Amino acid sequence: MEERIEALIEAMDKFYGEDGDKDRAHTHSVWLVAKTIAEEEGLDKNLVDIIEKAAVVHDASCPLCRSLYGKAEGRMQEVHSREVIEPLLSILGWSKETKEKLIDMASRHHTYSDSDPIEDVVLKEADAIVNLSEAEEFDVNKAIWYGANVFKTKTGKFLLEKLIRANLGEGEEI
């Protein structure tokens, strides 16, 4: 069976349900930013495909975390990723290799390492950009820290700098 991104997006939209507008919007934003970074970085079609799919499922455990803990902190999302993502991908009939790769990526999308493979880097950069842009109050210092310590791709750094500049006050510099 061909593992199509459209089927996954539709499944996640249904998964989030009527009360999932914020989760759906976040997922769609991360997917688009991740796709943009991956394509602009010139990654091969297979890597772009896996990055897109990981972006769509990366926060699938958020509703469960909110029901269990009242919030969805990054580490808890990672801990609960497998139990939420595996059944969803099984219903879609996806290959074991794809399922394991997506679960693996979602299970560490808030854990940063210098040895992260490029597909993890792109997902983490996209999620960070979207998380920063969705915050009630933009944290310039946090964004600058991400740029200095987490971001590795030229495109991710470019998008982050644009986001920072868009949120600076008049006359402020990075």
Average pLDDT over residues 41-50: 96
Is residue 174, in this structure, part of any structural domain at all? Answer: no
Q: Specify whether the CB–CB gap between 122 and 152 falls below 8 A.
A: no
Give the residue numbers spanning the domain of 70.
Answer: 5-167
Predicted local confidence at residue 1, as pLDDT: 42
Would you place residue 80 in the very low, low, confident or very high pLDDT band (cuts 50, 70, 90)? very high
- Whether residue 45 is predicted with pLDDT greater than 90 in this model: the reply is yes
Q: Specify whether the CB–CB gap between 104 and 117 falls below 8 A.
A: no
Predicted local confidence at residue 157, as pLDDT: 98
Is residue 16, in this structure, part of any structural domain at all? Answer: yes
In one letter, which amino acid is 144? I
Is residue 13, in this structure, part of any structural domain at all? Answer: yes
Is residue 172, in this structure, part of any structural domain at all? Answer: no
Average pLDDT over residues 86-113: 90
Is residue 61, in this structure, part of any structural domain at all? Answer: yes
Is residue 68, in this structure, part of any structural domain at all? Answer: yes
Is residue 106, in this structure, part of any structural domain at all? Answer: yes
**How many domains is the chain partitioned into structurally?**
1
- 57-71 confidence digits (pLDDT tens): 999 999 999 999 999
- pTM, two decimal places: 0.93
| CATH number for 38 | 1.10.3210.10
Rounded to an integer, what distance in angstroms lies between the CA atom of residue 73 and that of residue 88?
21
Of 101, 93, 20, the C-alpha closest to 54 is 101
Is residue 173, in this structure, part of any structural domain at all? Answer: no
Q: Specify whether the CB–CB gap between 83 and 75 falls below 8 A.
A: no
- Whether residue 2 is predicted with pLDDT greater than 60 in this model: the reply is no
